[in-house]
Amino acid sequence: MPNYRWGIIGPGHIAENFCQQFPAGQTLYGVASAHSPEKGQAFAQKFQIPHVYADHAALLADPAIDVVYIATTNNVHFENIRAALLAGKHVLAEKPVTLNTAQLRTLMALADQRHLILMEAQTIYHMPLYDELAAQVRQRQLGRLRSLHASFGLHTLPDNPTGRLLNPQLGGGGLLDMGIYALSFARRLMTAAPQLEKTVMVPTATGVDDISATVIANAHHELGTFTFNLVPNAPEIGYAVYDRGYFIVDHYLRPEQAIFVDGATEEQSVIRAGHTDQAMGYEVTAMGHAIATGENPTQAWTLDTMTLMTAMRAAWGLKYPEERD
């Protein structure tokens, strides 16, 4: 795989994690902050990134940069990605890649027209454990996937309504920031695209989703149930039930192991693959392979999950300011 030169837009906390896990064989080349050149300078110094740009446009204008990692807030992903694609850059964008399906389809079409890769930085799509679970299904002859369940909760402080997670202006809410992991977990294991069957939601005082429960299904009769909590905490556990046994995946966002329970004997075994502290590095490696081959194996999963989330918010009546304009 070639050594690609990476530019970073949005040098915040998530981008720090990204740089800490950035793999050898790829190059962190430049960084830009839209609001604070000083922030970009400090970030570059911390991670020994050689080039700092005055703004996003200057970074995107540099022909030396091959691919851009976007880690800005949800509400500006669409415009940031569009600008990068128009500048001829491949894009790895933090989840959720866009606010809704219409935005995503627009960007996918633009990327296709320009022969560029647009990939979502969704750890679940790239953790080696999920490939290993698929292999275990075949080796153990577990039969059909029957049902999935995943929960997620984050103890968001309710007295900070302007914070990213509670602020509708920034595309906040439990679904786009945390529920997306549970739905991506389901899509990663399902054998066909899911559709929304039922969903209910309780909003926060700011109007974004706090607590929700959702049921999905697909043409292969695989069912999924999900519960999300924004303000109260909740366990991060996923279950995948097959004809002849089931998997329990604790901390399924970036897992390195799962427990398999045999359906007949109830015997348990531990399945291991990958490393949690390399999760974002796996995303970089996957992006590099996609650029080299011209094929994005995760694109359909991203589209199916975004379509599901868009349908859920439509059922809730939750629109963000950018969607109302």
- DSSP string for 201-259: EEE-TTSSEEEEEEEEEETT--EEEEEEESSS-B--EEEEEETTEEEEEETTTS-SEEE
DSSP for residue 197: E
Going from the C-alpha of 28 to that of each of 7, 67, 161, 303, 304, the distances in angstroms are 7, 10, 34, 28, 31
Give the ranges where the chain is alpha helix by DSSP (H).
13-20, 37-47, 56-60, 77-86, 101-113, 128-139, 174, 180-189, 279-293, 299-316, 321-324
The residues assigned a catalytic role are 95
Contact (CB, 8 A) for 22 and 43? no
Sequence-separated (6 or more) residues with CB below 8 Å from residue 48? 28
The tokens for 2 are 């070639």
**How far is 123 from 279, CA to CA, in rounded Å?**
6
Half-sphere exposure of 2 (CA within 13 A, CB side): 10
**CA 89, 95, 96, 102 torsion-angle sign:** positive
CA distance 36 to 197: 44
Calpha distance 285→310 (Å, rounded): 29
Contact 42, 70 (CB under 8 A): no
Q: Given the DSSP bridges, would you call strands 67-70 and 5-9 parallel, antiparallel or unpaired?
A: parallel
